[in-house]
Amino acid sequence: MSNELPVAIVTGASRGIGAAVTKRLAQDGFAVVVNYATNEKEALNLVEEITWAGGQATAIQADVSNPLAVAELFEQAESTFAAPSVLVNSAGIMHLSPLAECSDESFQSMMDVNVKGTFNTLRQAANKLQKGGRIINLSTSVLGLSLPTYAVYSATKAAVEAMTTIFAKELRGRSITVNAVAPGPTATALFFKGKSKAQIEQLTKMTPLERLAEPEDIANTVSFLAGADGGWINGQILRANGGIV
């Protein structure tokens, strides 16, 4: 497929924040790669929506925790469009429980997707991203809140933030920026899963703006970092959380 647009890979793009980011980058003039792990139908629906709106998009399945799958993701993106200019690491999973009650399976799955998945894509981006490109990782503002039941999930995102700030320095000479966006409570299926109505209401009222973020609020922040106006922001964690912390 011939392409003259800059290319953005968005992991975990089939739903939630990832889907909102993908649609926004398509509106910004990127050809977008909709990466998904299992939600093929939603990924294809997103591609169709972007295409109908006049954009360019393709869906590519890859488990980000698998290094071979991630290498293939980058190769397919380049063969379909061109070498990517932007990588957004939106793939993530969250299992909430007190640390002492967290199962081995829950711990390992969060480490595999949130930490190893980000590591795998960053390692590929080091060699495959075009000079002057942008990398945006997704963290969480829960790191600043230290809420009970979020210990392991927060630990995975602390690792993401550490990789973000260090990787920005390691890419010296490539003109590639590396930043992370740390959302607060955001109205997604991932957020609502397993929470009572009272918990949701409490978290909603914690922000001075007294509402949950919409996925589009986070997509706007990613768009800024991926665009021309965000070019001098590098090695930073942007807390897009409405002032909750």
Catalytic residues, by residue number, are 153
Token pair 């398509």 is found at 26
Give yes or no for a contact between 194 and 96, defined as CB atoms under 8 angstroms apart. Answer: yes
Burial group, residue 71, by CB count within 10 angstroms (0-12, 13-18, 19+): middle
Give yes or no for a contact between 26 and 86, defined as CB atoms under 8 angstroms apart. Answer: no
- Nearest partner of 113 among 105, 102, 125, judged by Cα: 105
Token pair 């393709």 is found at 58
d(CA 156, CA 107): 9
Phi and psi at residue 173, in whole multiples of 5°? 95, -10
d(CA 207, CA 47): 34
| Integer-rounded Cα radius of gyration of the chain | 17
* The 31-36 sheet, strands edge to edge: 57-61, 31-36, 7-11, 86-89, 134-138, 177-181, 237-238
- Cα separation values, 239 from 17, 85, 230, 242, Å: 15, 23, 15, 8
